[in-house]
């Protein structure tokens, strides 16, 4: 049982009507949010986002301001819990690995790349009753309190999707908040539609990477590659090829174990196309972790 009073924190965050109106507009865009807020899940996602993620003009969150305002009058245990939540909370998609009913759920965090034992009696009990296989996905916020990861914020949101290990690796570091997850419950428009479009473009890049990796597996069998695609992805990330882009293709062939005597026109074309796609759709350190495709689309959008 959490000691912090969530409803009191929400009251604190919504006491200024102008700030609340601004937050609602930022969360929902120009659509009519009144009927949407009648959905308990949407309302919960908004309240969670308002507490943890909405930044005021000061740059601070409402949870942090609440902590600073009331830490001198709240019980010591409550203050410690709030401080722990501020310091450790993380919102991300989790893939279920196992569940012990009435105790905890073991899940893989797709943003952090870490596995967590999430202690929530009600959640693990309900989860054990559902006809779910391992690796199905839910979004929620967890925080570490007294050396245990627990659920904070709104109820977890499930999506009936199981991801491959390779896809999970591609999702590391990808940020998501309740604001994006709430879109699952309504059709966005206005400013929110722009945010949704940006999110969809990021998803399109991830889909393209998955297609590239599927194509790599086909070519691996056809041409008997001995190296893994991760070698080329790392080459792109660090731009560690010899001198120029032509050397990048040559170095890719070497990493895949294709000797010169086996470099047929077909292999050269297949590897050349594959390596070019990896170059365009995978991150480069020189581009601050973005791919050339992402950089180009962002510049094109800014110019319009």
pLDDT digits (tens, 9 = 90+) for 56-112: 999 999 999 999 999 999 999 999 999 999 999 999 999 999 999 999 999 999 999
Report the pLDDT value the prediction gives residue 19, as an integer from 0 to 100: 93
DSSP SS3 for 114: coil
Please count the CA atoms within 13 angstroms of the CA of 243 that sit on its side-chain side: 1
Report the pLDDT value the prediction gives residue 299, as an integer from 0 to 100: 45
Report the pLDDT value the prediction gives residue 26, as an integer from 0 to 100: 92
**pLDDT tens-digit series, residues 30-56:** 888 888 898 899 999 999 999 999 999
DSSP SS3 for 270: helix
> Where are the CATH 2.40.50 domain residues in the chain?
89-177
Report the pLDDT value the prediction gives residue 193, as an integer from 0 to 100: 46
Residue 115: its H or E element: strand 115-119
Tokens 């507490």 label which residue?
Answer: 51
Alpha-carbon span 175 to 157, nearest angstrom:
16
Please count the CA atoms within 13 angstroms of the CA of 241 that sit on its side-chain side: 22
Report the pLDDT value the prediction gives residue 266, as an integer from 0 to 100: 85
What are the pLDDT tens digits along the chain (304 aa)?
Answer: 788 999 999 999 999 999 999 999 999 988 888 888 988 999 999 999 999 999 999 999 999 999 999 999 999 999 999 999 999 999 999 999 999 999 999 999 999 999 999 999 988 988 887 765 455 789 999 999 999 999 999 999 987 666 767 667 767 888 889 998 898 887 665 544 444 445 445 546 777 888 888 889 999 999 989 888 999 888 888 865 554 455 677 888 888 988 887 888 888 888 888 888 888 888 888 777 877 777 655 543 443 3
Alpha-carbon span 219 to 224, nearest angstrom:
8
Tokens 């190296």 label which residue?
Answer: 227
Top-tier CATH class for 89-177: mainly beta
Report the pLDDT value the prediction gives residue 164, as an integer from 0 to 100: 67
Maximum distance among all Cα pairs of the chain, rounded to whole angstroms: 77
Burial grade of 176 (CB within 10 A; 0-12, 13-18, 19 or more): middle
Alpha-carbon span 262 to 270, nearest angstrom:
13
Burial grade of 225 (CB within 10 A; 0-12, 13-18, 19 or more): buried
pTM of the model: 0.63
Distances in Å between the Cα of 98 and the Cα atoms of 7, 79, 104, 203 are 31, 32, 9, 27
């Amino acid at each position: 049982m959490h000691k912090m009073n969530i409803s009191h924190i929400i009251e604190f965050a919504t006491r200024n009507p102008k700030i609340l109106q601004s937050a609602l507009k930022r969360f929902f865009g120009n659509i009519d949010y009144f009927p949407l807020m009648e959905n308990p899940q949407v309302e919960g996602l908004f309240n969670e986002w308002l507490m943890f993620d909405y930044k005021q003009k000061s740059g601070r969150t409402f949870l942090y301001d609440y902590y600073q305002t009331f830490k001198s009058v709240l019980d010591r245990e409550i203050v410690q819990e709030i401080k722990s939540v501020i310091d450790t909370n993380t919102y991300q998609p989790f893939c279920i690995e196992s569940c012990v009913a009435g105790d905890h759920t073991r899940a893989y965090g797709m943003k952090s790349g870490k596995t967590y034992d999430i202690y929530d009696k009600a959640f693990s009990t309900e989860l054990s009753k559902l006809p779910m296989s391992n690796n199905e996905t839910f979004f929620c916020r967890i925080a570490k309190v007294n050396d245990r990861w627990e659920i904070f914020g709104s109820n977890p949101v499930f999506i009936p999707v199981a991801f491959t290990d390779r896809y999970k690796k591609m999702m590391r570091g990808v940020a998501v908040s309740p604001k994006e997850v709430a879109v699952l419950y309504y059709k966005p428009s206005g400013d929110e539609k722009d945010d949704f479009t940006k999110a969809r473009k990021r998803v399109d890049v991830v889909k393209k990477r998955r297609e590239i990796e599927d194509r790599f597996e086909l070519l691996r069998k056809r041409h008997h590659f001995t190296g893994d695609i991760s070698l080329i992805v790392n080459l792109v990330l660090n731009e560690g090829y010899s001198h120029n882009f032509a050397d990048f293709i040559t170095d890719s062939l070497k990493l895949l174990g294709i000797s010169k005597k086996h470099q047929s026109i077909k292999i050269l074309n297949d590897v050349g196309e594959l390596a070019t796609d990896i170059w365009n759709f995978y991150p480069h350190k020189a581009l601050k972790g973005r791919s050339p495709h992402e950089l180009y689309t962002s510049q094109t959008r800014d110019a319009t």
